Chain A
């Protein structure tokens, strides 16, 4: 049976701990073991429970990274990055440049599927994306996760892994869909990649040609030639889809695309408002139907 993203993360974590590095976070050993992504291990095995002091936690893990541990830091809700990020962003991400002392640290930052209110809901990778000294990646498949971990182990930068719980059961690899002279090109990030695929399939049945170019790397953003050609030959330009707010990574990437290719690139992300708890006031990333409607509106 094919492995899920969940199993893949669990196995990577076990391998990481077996190699002598450690995994830090809050309530790691709680019921569910962070969505089943952690092996059921304890402090003596390298699974380190931090206190509930989030800002200090980010600093403690930075110190462990400075000492060469290559820690994995699990932040159970991406919204908690607002207070986990200060010392990581100001020290771990700058230390190599200022003092030639790298702080390689892998941050597992987990987005939820909504229903959890104003703080914890969706992705917040844009907090990090704007800063130097970090690589921001959003793997949604087992092979992508393995690839990202291998990259981290060869590198000495901070890695911000923008995870989404909705990917945890996924076993499939996501392939780009690129047509000759498509109607539009989608550049989906994080969980919007699943919705983008679905929307493209549905619109294909209506006779439209929709490219889907999956975005794994949010930073550094490498606008590959094949993608540029796909956008350039699309009749109605492109859309960057994201599980974060529009005024962040998505806008930054869209701007970069428009500088390189003479086509309009729009963004479709979280609405620019606060999420509530009830479904009627939640703020979720665009689903397949909404993406279809958006495309039809454009063309």
Chain B
């Protein structure tokens, strides 16, 4: 059992327990606006953040709307995310960002404006100026935006140190990918003369793909499964594959202990912020 797998699990556990708390909050009408849950997909950000940590890289991160797990995986403060979801000025986006437009200045996480995929050209322009390792997240649907494709082409032309991550849960709302297109983003990336890879959200596979990350631009299409719809309004299939549960089972008692401890930490963090009201 490697430190990497445990550390990824710790990050994923924070994400999952946070999202589970929020999901229950949605059921109890705790929130005043739409909440975009990342549960089920948390292993992507958790793995990438851990790889960055191991490589001692402090990247600029351009987040997308389903981004709680990205925010937490890259160690942005949980208290500010809680406050943001509560619409407070002390939130990470001063209560303006809601769930979709969170960010963190200290952690170099840049907020998303809600225009699907706009973070991709913005990240490309930012990286062109800074030439600093940059990660940008998108979904399999936002990847279809024409301006995403145009930006990928320019990033390749300029050979920018970028990692484009497609969190591919195969669904846009409820429309499957095969209905919308007959191509895959990793082949599109290769068509643009950049490295394009496809993997599952298995942490070891993600790590392997990232061996030479930032040696020029690269796109990683990660096939994953969402646990909940936006705002927790529904569940696609209660028996859908759950990476988090799978890894917890694989890692055994250590992981189960981490899960229980993290659950308490998350509940305490929420309670502490709620008590401030």
Contact = CB atoms under 8 A, between A and B. Distances in A.
What's the interface size class on A, roughly?
A: 20 to 34
Nearest to B104: A99
A67 B126 contact: yes
A117 interface: no
Interface residues of B, number: 33
A136 B231 CA distance: 38
B216 interface: no
A139 interface: no
A62 B96 contact: no
Contacts of A99: 93-94, 96-97, 101, 103, 105, 110-111
Contacts of B129: 63-64, 67-69
Nearest to B125: A63
Interface stretch (A89-97, A106-114, A203-211, A253-261): A89-97
Contact of A53 (B97, B122, B153): B153
A132 to B, nearest CB: 13
B128 A63 contact: yes
B251 interface: no
A86 interface: yes
Nearest to B134: A63
B183 to A, nearest CB: 18
Main secondary structure of the interface of B (DSSP, over half): helix
A91 B124 CA distance: 14
B97 A67 contact: no
Nearest to A58: B121
Contacts of A61: 125
Contact of A51 (B97, B103, B123, B157): B157
Contacts of B94: 98-100
A94 B114 CA distance: 11
Interface in B86-142: 93-94, 96-97, 101, 103, 105, 110-111, 113-115, 118, 120-130
A59 B124 contact: yes
Contact of B124 (A63, A94, A97, A100): A63
Given A64-B129, A90-B114, A98-B93, A51 B122 contact: no
Nearest to A48: B128
Contact of A64 (B93, B115, B126): B126
Nearest to B152: A56
Given A87-B115, A98-B111, A56 B154 contact: yes
A55 B126 CA distance: 16
A89 B27 CA distance: 35
B31 interface: no
A13 B97 CA distance: 36
B147 interface: yes
Interface in B245-277: none
Contact of B146 (A55, A65, A69, A95): A55
Contact of B123 (A53, A63, A69, A94): A63
Contacts of B127: 63
A101 B154 CA distance: 24
A60 interface: yes
A57 interface: yes
B6 interface: no
Contacts of B105: 99-101
Contact of A59 (B103, B111, B118, B157): B118
B118 A60 contact: no
B151 interface: yes
Interface string B9-50: 000000000000000000000000000000000000000000
Given A98-B93, A99-B101, 15 more contacts: A51-B154, A53-B154, A56-B147, A56-B150, A56-B154, A57-B121, A59-B120, A60-B125, A64-B128, A66-B126, A69-B129, A87-B122, A87-B147, A91-B118, A99-B94
28 contacts: A51-B154, A53-B149, A53-B150, A53-B154, A55-B121, A55-B150, A56-B151, A59-B120, A59-B125, A63-B121, A63-B124, A63-B125, A66-B125, A67-B126, A67-B130, A68-B129, A87-B113, A87-B118, A87-B121, A87-B147, A90-B114, A90-B115, A91-B113, A95-B111, A98-B93, A98-B97, A99-B93, A99-B97
Closest 4 pairs (CB-CB, A-B): A63-B125, A53-B150, A59-B121, A56-B150
